[in-house]
Amino acid sequence: MASTRALGAKKGILERLDSGEVVIGDGSFLITLEKRGYVKAGLWTPEAVVEHPSAVRQLHMEFLRAGANVMQTFTFSASEDNMESKWEDVNTAACDLAKEVAGKGDALVAGGICQTSMYKYHKDEARIKKLFRQQLEVFTRKNVDFLIAEYFEYVEEAVWAVEVLKESGKPVAATMCIGPAGDMHGVTPGECAVRLAKAGASIVGVNCRFGPGTSLKTVELMKEGLGAAGLKAHLMVQSLGLHTPDCGKGGFVDLPEYPFGLEPRVATRWDIHKYARDAYNLGVRYIGGCCGFEPYHIRAIAEELAPERGFLPLASEKHGSWGSSLNMHTKPWIRARARREYWENLLPASGRPFCPSLSKPDV
């Protein structure tokens, strides 16, 4: 199978999804760049696009090489309420970096906004929409390909975001950071999807807060809600690259290990093969990741769905399918691991004999 698809005129996001094409999103920026020393935990704001552009560019490149064909602007929490006077420079620089890297492959640029810090305390629709509109003005000036409203705990605020983004005339995706229990006001996933679609989102789904299995369960409920309402929208999932079956309604942020002790929960590449296949079988065609989702996880999505896509990512040149490169190892017991059955059935140990397998959320 060929590595990478031959480049031609780039198709838009809806043209790709309408034709049944698999779109692979990118993965973790905040958590990954915090580990690399370029983001400060707490506010989780993306000054790195200005202060350390080479670090952000490198991570974009790693995701592109792994198979992502969407470069999302690193503009999480980059609204004026979080960044004050720095917001415009940050949004501008983030667009430039994403466009630069997207131009090196068959990738689209998505301008991203997220929930505001204001909504929980001041549900002022006009003020919140003004914040969204400021970022949108930068995305419009930079002519991104489409827009994503992501990481919303409350569907009301997500709908406001979609309504603003629709003013651009560009396609809009909207994802909630919720689990099967619904948003923080108790609105079910199905009803959230219906409201987002009615607001004008062409793509709906979930991102962050929950692991692969829980995220897909939530998307399934969204799909059911859309079907019951007679509405159509493309489905999208960008889960954590972590296992979090023990978290509550608020997701992984309520676990005692968040954010500095999550490493034992990291999904293997083989876990992500299953996530990609399960998502595809559910009818999801926009599949990516969020916090904890490293480039090798994105490569796992691209490799699992290579038969449907017709090509492998560049990063697969250094990765044998299902461990096949281990056939070259000098030790016979390691050569015996060069098969799919071995990795699919492995129950990996944590190496921590006095640690529990599950935690109790603080909330």
Known binding-site residue numbers = 208, 290-291
- Report d(CA 294, CA 325) in Å as an integer: 21
53, 93 contact by CB (below 8 A): yes
DSSP string of 251-262? Answer: GGGGSTTTTTS-
Among the listed residues 265, 254, 285, 289, the one whose alpha carbon sits nearest the alpha carbon of residue 362: 254
Kindly state the helix (H) or strand (E) to which residue 131 belongs, with its residue range: helix 125-141
Q: Where are the beta strands (DSSP E) in 54-125?
A: 70-72, 108-114
- Report d(CA 108, CA 223) in Å as an integer: 25
Contacts of 264 (CB under 8 A, 6+ apart): 257, 350, 352, 355
Among the listed residues 278, 248, 275, 119, the one whose alpha carbon sits nearest the alpha carbon of residue 179: 248
- Report d(CA 255, CA 165) in Å as an integer: 33
Residue 109's φ and ψ, nearest 5 degrees, are -105, 130
Q: Give the count of beta carbons closer than 10 Å to the beta carbon of residue 227.
A: 12
Tell me the three-class secondary structure of 28-42, residue by residue: CCHHHHHHCCCCCCC
DSSP string of 289-341? Answer: E-TT--HHHHHHHHHHTHHHHTSB-GGGGG--GGGGGGGG-SSHHHHTT-SHH
Q: Report the DSSP pairing between strands 146-152 and 234-239.
A: unpaired
Q: What six digits make up the tokens of 83?
A: 């960044």
- Per the annotation, binding residues for Zn(2+) are 208, 290-291
